[in-house]
Amino acid sequence: MKRKFALFGLLAALAVPALAGKALEAPGGKDAAAAEQMFRASFKAENPKYWMSRLEQDETMKTCGLYRDNPPRKIGEKLEKLNVATIRYPVDGKLIGDWKEGEKLAAVGTGGHIGFIQPDPAGKLRGGNCYACHQLARKELAYGTIGPNLQNFGRIRGRSEENIKYVYDKIYNSNAFTACTNMPRFGLHNWLTPEQITHIVAFLIDPESPVNRD
Amino acid sequence: MIRRLTQTLVGAAVAVVLAGPVVAQDKVADELAKYREALADGNPADLFELKGEALWAEKRGPKNVSLEQCDMGLGPGKLDGAYAQLPKYFKDTGKVMDVESRLVHCMVSLQGFTPEQVTQQWYSKPGKDADIEALVTYIGAKSNGKPINVPATHPEEARMARMGEYIFYRRSGPQDFSCAICHGQEGKRIRLQELGNLTTKDGAGTAMKTWPSYRVSQGTVWTMQRRLIDCMRQARWPEPEYLADSVIALETYLLKTATGTVMETPGIKR
């Protein structure tokens, strides 16, 4: 464990000169390793293991933090390769599902909250919460702007197999295309099942979907 | 108040119908701003402030003393501007403390409560109000109009600010979230909620100056600890413990960035 922290500290130190232009210190500077320890010590020891597993970081998360989500291109490419390799497809190989199901999933923002204060009830549907960040169907006005506007996505980008696969892959693991993007990796974390992802693909691409019709 | 609120909401609905889809978006945002304005006329946090003032002066605890000798960083009993200069390093505890950890420290050391007694109900539940929320609202109000002043010049404070910065950018959990995902850019919105860029003085100032704040959707005042612990819940992480150092570190980082912004507290929010 100690060695891990030491390695992390070393990585942090190496990161500084690697940044292009004005050298921006990695967050936490020389106290990054201590901050990690402090953060981990902030949680009740009797928390279920499943909860605490949500504090673990894979290489992508660690590296993104180190570079304030803006890694040098070389490191970004390495992360993108790592993430491409994680993508799994539905058993039947069909990447475009039912847009009506996708429409529901795009609107659901609850699910997955844990803890003692305001947890979600077990089994609560987890959606993609797409509207938190994207504009999609014209009729939905309560959309966020963290991600790009996806209104008419299918009309503009088409229904080619290539585009369908791109959308599936992007939702499954957004970091396969852009390392350290703000977008979650829905498939990698099993937040959405491959089948649910195909429904959201349909919501974006199907010509009958309100994303492309209204 | 209620009538005005209804008018505002009806106004918002009518505006959406009349304006058509193109401008409806901006109209909704405008009407939300009016809604907030209407709410500000008679902030229920004022009641928390009054209750906090009484609690501050009341002889309580095993030692049957008031909190009037509590040192929130400007000397015993000196509350004017105290909230605005916290968190800071305290020699007597050897720790960087925020408003809430210092308040709890006083309730334990002066009044003789155990830490468990003081913190077992640190936030309000339906039908059960938390004393800490009232006291923090009172202490906060004593800094209304004062500039936030957390330069973090003491080495321990500077260290806490750096550690807070580390946590701000730390990604984990099933949504790959960090604070920076939503709060590291200018002019973004989640659903209809505007997001501040907490890495700038303006953004951090706008976010920090109105706490503690009455949350209409929650029916109570939220302290900064509650606010940040809930951010972690929203990130789908487990909750850090109340008064955890990592929360104080985040506060130090954010308030250092916000330093110079004038406090407007207690606030009122959705």
Kindly report the CATH class assigned to A99-213. mainly alpha
Looking at residue B3, its pLDDT comes to: 39
Which residue in B164, B174, B239 is closest to A112 by CB distance?
Answer: B174
DSSP structural state of residue B65: B
Can you give the pTM of this predicted structure?
0.88
pLDDT at B141 exceeding the cut of 70? yes
CATH code, residues B155-269: 1.10.760.10
Q: What is the mean pLDDT of residues A9-27?
A: 57
Q: What is the mean pLDDT of residues B228-249?
A: 97
Domain boundaries, chain B: 45-141, 155-269
Show Cβ contacts of residue B150 under 8 Å, excluding neighbours closer than 6 positions.
B85, B86, B87, B88, B157, B252, B255, B256, B258, B259
pLDDT digits (tens, 9 = 90+) for B117-126: 999 999 998 8
Min Cα–Cα distance to chain A from B84, Å: 24
With cut-offs at 50, 70 and 90, classify the pLDDT of residue A175: very high
Question: Looking at chain B, which residue has its C-alpha nearest residue A189?
Answer: B174
Would you please indicate which residues of B are annotated as catalytic (active-site) residues? 231
B242 versus A5: the higher-pLDDT residue is: B242
The vertex-B86 CA angle with B66 and A31, nearest 5°, equals: 130
pLDDT at A16 exceeding the cut of 50? no
A39 in contact with B, Cβ within 8 Å = yes
Q: What is the mean pLDDT of residues A164-170?
A: 98
Question: Looking at chain A, which residue has its C-alpha nearest residue B121?
Answer: A117
pLDDT at B162 exceeding the cut of 90? yes
Question: Looking at chain B, which residue has its C-alpha nearest residue A182?
Answer: B181
Q: What is the mean pLDDT of residues B152-173?
A: 98
Domain boundaries, chain A: 2-84, 99-213
B12 in contact with A, Cβ within 8 Å = no
Which residue in A34, A41, A142 is closest to B191 by CB distance?
Answer: A142
Looking at residue A18, its pLDDT comes to: 46
With cut-offs at 50, 70 and 90, classify the pLDDT of residue B41: confident
- Per CB-CB distance under 8 Å, the chain A contacts of B171 are 57, 61, 64-65
With cut-offs at 50, 70 and 90, classify the pLDDT of residue B25: low
Min Cα–Cα distance to chain A from B3, Å: 25
Return residues 81-140 of A near B (CB < 8 Å): 109, 112-118, 131-133, 138-139
Which residue in A36, A69, A133 is closest to B190 by CB distance?
Answer: A133
Looking at residue A13, its pLDDT comes to: 47
- Per CB-CB distance under 8 Å, the chain B contacts of A118 are 230, 233
Q: Which residues pair with B267 in a beta bridge?
A: B213
Give me chain B's average pLDDT, please.
90
A207 in contact with B, Cβ within 8 Å = no
Separation CA A169–CA A95 (nearest Å) = 10
Percent of chain B past pLDDT 90, that is, above it, reads 80
Looking at residue A78, its pLDDT comes to: 98
For residue B232, give the 3-state DSSP assignment: helix
Separation CA A48–CA A11 (nearest Å) = 31
Separation CA B173–CA B105 (nearest Å) = 33
Q: What is the mean pLDDT of residues A183-197?
A: 98
Looking at residue B17, its pLDDT comes to: 41
CA A165 from centroid of its chain's CA atoms: 17
ipTM: 0.89
B16 in contact with A, Cβ within 8 Å = yes
Nearest 5°: phi and psi at B172?
-170, 175
Q: What is the mean pLDDT of residues B230-258?
A: 97
B219 in contact with A, Cβ within 8 Å = no
pLDDT digits (tens, 9 = 90+) for B100-117: 999 999 999 999 999 999
Show Cβ contacts of residue A183 under 8 Å, excluding neighbours closer than 6 positions.
A133, A147, A170, A174, B176
> Are B105 and B97 in contact, with CB atoms under 8 Å apart?
yes
Kindly report the CATH class assigned to B45-141. mainly alpha
Radius of gyration in angstroms for the set of CA atoms belonging to chain A, rounded to a whole number = 19
pLDDT at B72 exceeding the cut of 90? yes
pLDDT digits (tens, 9 = 90+) for B183-201: 999 999 999 999 999 999 9
Looking at residue A20, its pLDDT comes to: 47
- Do domains B45-141 and B155-269 share one topology? The answer is yes
pLDDT at B243 exceeding the cut of 80? yes
B125 in contact with A, Cβ within 8 Å = no
